[in-house]
Amino acid sequence: MKVILGLSGGVDSAVALIKLLEQGYEVEAIFMRNWDSSLNNDVLGNPNDFSNVCPQEQDYLDALDVANKYNVKLHRIDFVDVYWEKVFAYFLEEYKNNRTPNPDILCNSEIKFKVFLEEAFKLKADYIAMGHYARVVHNPEVKLYKAFDKNKDQSYFLSQLNKTQLSKALFPLGEMTKEEVRKIARENDIKIATKKDSTGICFIGERNFKEFLKNYLKPNPGDIKTLSGEVVGKHEGLMYHTIGQRKGLGIGGAGDAWYVVGKDVANNVLLVSQGDTAEYLYSDRCIVNKINWLADDFKTLDCCAKFRYRSMDVKVRIVKINEDEFEVNYPDKAKAVTPGQAAVFYLGDELLGGGTINEVYLGKEKRMY
C-alpha cells in the first residue's frame, strides 16, 4: 500500500515517516508551500525569528534532510493561491465581521485533506498520512477519535473532515505521547528531535497578531467601556480583539486585570470588565451552524462539546434545528464561547461532528459577542 505523507520539517511528521516505514508502507512525501510573505504583503515577517534563512525554507530543508535519511522521495508543491482563496480570505472576512475564526480547521479540510489528497492521488496513493495527534478507524465504518495523549490531541482541528477524507487518512502518532515521539526521534538521530513545535496561524506561524492583521484590515478606533458605560481606554479596531482576551488592552489601574467581555458593534465600543469571572463572559446556550456530522442522525442528543482548543469538555444537550444548524444547551454555563470559533462534539473519545458558533446567549439575552 502506498502512502503520501505530509512532511512539514517538524519532529511529528518525521516520526510519522519512521512509523509508516516500520509498518511496511511504500512512502513518498509532500512538503506544502502555502504562504509567501513577499506576495501576501506580510511585511513584518516573523518577529520571533532572527535567522538569515526564511522559516519556511528552513522547514523544507529539515523535511528534505529526513526524507534523504530514509531514501524517501520528497515532492515540493505550491498551494499559495488556493490557501489564500480557501483559507486566508475567509479568515480575513470573519475578522472584518468581528468574529474569531479558526483557520487551522479550514486549513485541514481545504488544504491538508483536500488539495493535498488530490495531489496524492496523482501519485497513485492508497492513503495520505499526517503527523496529527488523533486516531481514525476505517472498519467497519469510519470514525474519528481523540488521541491517546490528551494534552496533544488535535482531533478538534479535524472536525470538518468528511468521511471520504477520513477514509483515506492515517495518523501514525494517534496512540503515542509527545515524549515517545521525541524519544524515537532521538534514537533515530533525527536532527530536529528537539525542534520547537510550530505555533500561530496555520502555515503562517507566529506573528504579533494585531500588527499582522493591520496589513490587511485598516484600524477603526473607538472607545473601550465598562458594562456600566464608563470609558476606560481606546481601541484601534474591534476586529483586533476576542472574547476573554486579557493582554494587549492597554488598560492599567487598580484592581483585577481587565478582560474583553463583549463588542458593541453598532457603536464601535469594546466592552470590558475586571476579573476573569465576570458574569458577562458566561453563557448557557449557543447556535451552531456549518455542521459537519459524522455520527448517527438524531433529534436531541446528550454529549460533550469543546468550544475552543484547550478548553475543557462541557456537558451539552444538542437540539437539531435542521441539517446545518444546532441549538446547543449547557445549563452549567461556559466561559467565552465565541462566535466564529468551532464547537466540536464528543461522546467519550469519539468525535461526533462539529460546526461554527454563530450566536451566544444567556437565557433569552443574546450576548454582544
45-57 confidence digits (pLDDT tens): 444 444 445 677 8
Residues of the chain with pLDDT > 70, as a percent, come to: 92
pLDDT, residue 45, reads 45
- Are 30 and 156 members of one domain? yes
Q: Among 28-42, 273-287, 327-341, where is mean pLDDT lowest?
A: 28-42
How high is the pLDDT of residue 50? Answer: 42
Q: What pLDDT score does 212 carry?
A: 82
- Region 345-349 average pLDDT: 98
Count CA atoms closer than 13 A to 181's CA, side-chain side. Answer: 26
Q: What is the DSSP string of 150-183?
A: TTT--GGGGTT--HHHHHTEE-TTTT--HHHHHH
The answer to whether residues 75 and 29 touch, using CB atoms and an 8 Å cutoff, is yes
Is 44 or 360 the better-scoring residue by pLDDT?
Answer: 360
Q: Grade residue 40 by pLDDT with cuts at 50, 70 and 90.
A: low
Q: Which domain CATH number covers 298?
A: 2.40.30.10
Residue 202 has pLDDT above 70, yes or no: no
Q: Residue 7 domain-assigned?
A: yes
Q: What pLDDT score does 136 carry?
A: 98
Same domain, 40 and 55: yes
Same domain, 84 and 131: yes
Q: Do 129 and 11 share a structural domain?
A: yes
Residue 41 has pLDDT above 60, yes or no: no
Residue 122 included in any domain: yes
Adjacent-strand bridge partners of 350: 145, 347
Are residue 287 and residue 265 in the same domain, yes or no?
no
Lowest mean pLDDT among 35-44, 143-152, 227-236, 271-280: 35-44
Q: Which of 229, 258, 277 is the last residue of a domain?
A: 277
From the list 202, 286, 303, 304, the catalytic residue is 202
For residue 205, tell me if it sits in a domain. Answer: no
- Do residue 261 and residue 151 come from a single domain? no
Q: What is the mean pLDDT of the chain?
A: 91
The DSSP 8-state label assigned to residue 113 in this structure reads I
**Are 235 and 183 contained in the same domain?**
no
**Whole-number pLDDT of residue 56:** 77
150, pLDDT greater than 80: yes
The answer to whether residue 59 is domain-embedded is: yes
CB neighbours (10 Å) of residue 61?
12
Residue with cell 482531533: 155
Spatial neighbors of 322 by CB under 8 A, at least 6 apart, are none
Q: Which of 249, 277, 305 is the last residue of a domain?
A: 277
First to last CA, the chain: 49
Q: What is the mean pLDDT of residues 178-200?
A: 91
Same structural domain for residues 109 and 175?
yes
Residue 212 within any structural domain of the chain: no
Q: Which of 54, 107, 286, 303 is catalytic?
A: 107
Q: Quote the Cα angle for 176-178-184, to 5°.
A: 75
Task: List C-alpha distances in Å: 25 to 2, 20, 201, 231, 298.
Answer: 6, 6, 32, 63, 39
Enclosing domain of residue 142: 2-187
Q: Are 155 and 134 in contact (CB under 8 A)?
A: yes
* Bond preceding residue 140 cis, omega within 30 of 0: yes
Strands 2-6 and 26-33, sheet pairing: parallel
Q: How many domains does the chain have?
A: 3
d(Cα 77, Cα 69) in Å, to the nearest integer? 20
When pLDDT is averaged across residues 170-176 and rounded to a whole number, the result is 98
- The Cα 191–Cα 185 span in angstroms is 8
Interval 74-103: pLDDT, tens: 999 999 999 999 999 999 999 999 999 998
Q: Would you call 54 a catalytic residue per the annotation?
A: no
Let me know whether 43 and 108 are in one domain: yes
